[in-house]
Amino acid sequence: MVPHLITALTGPINELEQRILESMPAVERWFRLEWMEHTPPFYCSVDIRNAGFKLAPVDTNLFPGGWHNLTPDMLPLGVQAAMAAIEKICPEAKNLLVIPENTRNSFYLANIAQLQRIFRGAGLNVRVGSVDPEIKKATAVELPGGETVTLEPVVRSKRRLGLKNFDPCTILLNNDLTAGAPGILEDLHEQYLLPPLHAGWSVRRKSRHFQSYEEVAKRFGKMLGIDSWLVNPLFNRCGELDFAREEGMECLRTNVDALLAKVRKKYKEYGINEKPFVIVKADYGSHGMGIMTVRDVKDLEEIRKLPKNRPPVVKGGKAITDVIIQEGVLTAERINDAVAEPVVYMMDRYVVGGFYRIHAERGVDENLNAPGASYVPLAFAESTRLPQPGQKPGASAPNRFYMYGVIGRLAMLAASYELEATDPEAETYE
Amino acid sequence: MVPHLITALTGPINELEQRILESMPAVERWFRLEWMEHTPPFYCSVDIRNAGFKLAPVDTNLFPGGWHNLTPDMLPLGVQAAMAAIEKICPEAKNLLVIPENTRNSFYLANIAQLQRIFRGAGLNVRVGSVDPEIKKATAVELPGGETVTLEPVVRSKRRLGLKNFDPCTILLNNDLTAGAPGILEDLHEQYLLPPLHAGWSVRRKSRHFQSYEEVAKRFGKMLGIDSWLVNPLFNRCGELDFAREEGMECLRTNVDALLAKVRKKYKEYGINEKPFVIVKADYGSHGMGIMTVRDVKDLEEIRKLPKNRPPVVKGGKAITDVIIQEGVLTAERINDAVAEPVVYMMDRYVVGGFYRIHAERGVDENLNAPGASYVPLAFAESTRLPQPGQKPGASAPNRFYMYGVIGRLAMLAASYELEATDPEAETYE
């Protein structure tokens, strides 16, 4: 099912859909050639927003949670992709250690149970090793469905990380390291640690990601003969922000103003009668804390009204000093009256599924992954891999899902560029 | 659903299922390491028979038809496997040429339409090039479902094969070359021709395949600590057979007798109260022509009653001179009262689906793929990739399907060994 698009101006997105479908052999070939040069991140999920006139990623998560939201139908694709990934990284693998977030939240642990299921299906012994200092012995947590996840304390030797009587070849991080990589994960040169530590939020910057994405989108747009703006959210960044001081705010005001002007110009070019807006958010961190929707530079004054000693924060308790100012992309998709945002899941180079994040109480220009967001996941009804050429643009769910898969892969490719550029161990040839 | 197993002695197969499931990480690792040394055939299908006490492949098809019998649910797996295959062989590919059998049979062409769908899903331009001299211009054939397949005459230049205005990077054979490889397919060194010509039935011998299979089964059995007979059908062969002459028959009688004795001994070892039988069939050719079920060497006298000038034939009109004598594996699976034989489909190294070939009018020891067999395909209800450890052996369909997938992959691996051994262009280091 394609959720009902309420924006009047669905022409551009339907044209884009048609263009992408017509060019499918060129698109797939382009990705194959890119993956010859660049290694995909082990797995990732991408939040996408469809404005009807524009389709763009707004967030790329390299430690995707929410795997439990994928339907059982999609699992075999995940297993097959996991087989391909493992085969490339460590064919002799028998044991895989998953490192989760330090939480016992049962929704999150349902995600871990699903990851276990996927990698067991790929034929690995999978155990969950917690780096939470509070986990001192094997702790079974029962999930609402009756399943159990057992968290075990990790055991570090000089050169390896494992569990008691469990020596893994590969360590899969599902912990986004917002608070920094714990020392226990450092200097593991004998094992594969995936994704690498520099994919954690203590190193990663959203602005760096969207800089890579812009590069990817431009090349993709050129190949396809389209304006890359149709798939690329514009952005600025502002470093060394200090909400308490006038100088720190000036940088924000200037950048917000400049970006709003740029978006306004683009809207004019495409005849879009919507009010442009930008999203100001922390340049790091996986959740939506500290996110502001700004329609006018005057909105920034709201920040001043916050108590001086309580600046907007991000997960992990750090005050925001770096922000990304991102073009706001309306979400024009609806399921009944609720706003819907597609999320695409990938493993290795394959799109293995996705779902809609649906939220009845949020607006079209608000973030749907905000803290406490009680969104309802709605799994994609069909595969992203079976487009139906010849269908009327905008009318075929498989075609829409295929297009989401293309955008998701563009963001994954950008993450690959980003991780190469920020790899502390990269060799430089100068 | 696991079809009802009527054989009383289901113990061994349930033990085998449990053994394979328990050892899944070892099994998958073993396959991964094998695929590092050996290239899987591009695609294949394997006919499997489940006797309740034994589970074995009886035929391995390197030019699988019947892709249309897979459910839409299984298609995304096929597409993903096709992406993996193409990526390895020819990442820069845009165009794929499929060469079908020389027939307009609409069931067969539905298979070709499905292959087109799969490779289009993987992002290729796919066209169908016939080597049938009767196809002199583009010929659209409408299928019962309303779909159309267009057969176009192939165009050969000095070094390449294609269609008018269509130059493929890869040529996919779905024509088993029983009558020999046409000259038009020879000396194509600039394009990938898959599977290679020596996979055709003018070169391939079933006895060669089962010789490789025996090797694979023994190594697999050793790794798993099981008697390889549980997954391996015994066989003998008889070359230069001449049904018209006494000397030619003597070889057949001796080999049938010896194989029946071997199987009898194995049945005794396992306490199986069934009458052993063997299948005598042509050593080449994809269909069941000329197949005989032999329970006693005296049955061979039946052959003498055939008119001397009409020996059993194989497809393509050639008289049988080479036969394989294969241990008969009862099919103990039933759907209602009909005999059911699982068929597993693979692409690249992945099991992408399967179905049951069901035939109400055939016996448990007869071939279900005989000419004119009006079998009913019943797609596997679930993926072969989601086993459920901890289930009672024999009770879980996903576990049974996983086991079928393992046996199918063993046969695919044997085909890989076989093609390496028979490659006319292989370099020998002596």
pLDDT 10s digits, B106-132? 989 999 999 999 999 999 999 999 999
Which 8-state DSSP code applies to residue A297? Answer: G
pLDDT 10s digits, A131-160? 999 999 999 999 988 899 999 999 999 999
> CB contact, 8 Å: B223 with chain A?
no
Interface of A with B in 183-212 (CB under 8 A): none
Shortest distance, CA A16 to any CA of chain B (angstroms)? 17
**From first to last of its 430 residues, what are the pLDDT tens digits of chain A?**
456 655 555 677 888 888 999 999 999 999 999 999 999 999 999 999 988 889 999 999 999 999 999 888 888 999 999 999 999 999 999 999 999 999 999 989 999 999 999 999 999 999 999 999 999 999 999 998 889 999 999 999 999 999 999 999 999 999 999 888 999 999 999 999 999 999 999 899 999 999 999 999 999 999 999 999 999 999 999 887 776 677 778 888 999 999 999 999 999 999 999 899 999 888 887 655 557 888 988 888 776 666 555 555 444 556 677 889 999 998 877 766 777 889 999 999 999 999 988 876 666 677 666 544 556 677 777 777 777 777 777 778 888 889 999 999 999 999 999 999 999 987 665 4
A58, A275 in Cβ contact below 8 A? Answer: no
Q: Give Cα separations from A90 to A84, A193, B27, B322 (angstroms).
A: 10, 11, 15, 44
pLDDT 10s digits, A27-74? 999 999 999 999 999 999 999 998 888 999 999 999 999 999 988 888
> CB contact, 8 Å: B4 with chain A?
no
Q: State yes or no: ipTM above 0.85.
A: yes
Residue partners of B425: CB distance under 8 A and separation at least 6: none
B21, B399 in Cβ contact below 8 A? Answer: yes
Shortest distance, CA A82 to any CA of chain B (angstroms)? 11
Cβ contact, residue pair A123, B350, below 8 Å: no
Shortest distance, CA B314 to any CA of chain A (angstroms)? 38
> CB contact, 8 Å: A121 with chain B?
yes
Q: What per-residue confidence (pLDDT) applies to A351? A: 95
Q: What per-residue confidence (pLDDT) applies to A372? A: 45
Q: What per-residue confidence (pLDDT) applies to A376? A: 66
Q: Which of B405, B396, B393, B360 is nearest to B378 (CA)?
A: B360
Q: What per-residue confidence (pLDDT) applies to B372? A: 46
Shortest distance, CA A240 to any CA of chain B (angstroms)? 44
Residue partners of B296: CB distance under 8 A and separation at least 6: B260
Q: What per-residue confidence (pLDDT) applies to B369? A: 62
pLDDT 10s digits, A227-242? 999 999 999 998 877 7
Shortest distance, CA B253 to any CA of chain A (angstroms)? 45
What does the DSSP assignment read for A279-296?
Answer: EEEESS-SS-TT-EEESS
**pTM (two decimals):** 0.90
Residue of A nearest to B96 (CA): A25
Q: What per-residue confidence (pLDDT) applies to A240? A: 75
First to last CA, chain B: 52
Task: List the single residue in A32, A91, A123 with the smallest CB-CB distance to B36.
Answer: A91
Which 8-state DSSP code applies to residue A24? Answer: H
Task: List the single residue in B36, B75, B123 with the smallest CB-CB distance to A25.
Answer: B123
Cβ contact, residue pair A25, B79, below 8 Å: no
Cβ contact, residue pair A84, B84, below 8 Å: yes
Phi/psi of residue B99, nearest 5 degrees? -105, 110
> CB contact, 8 Å: A124 with chain B?
yes
Interface test with B, best of A35, A383, A402 (most B CBs within 10 A): A383
Q: What per-residue confidence (pLDDT) applies to B64? A: 96
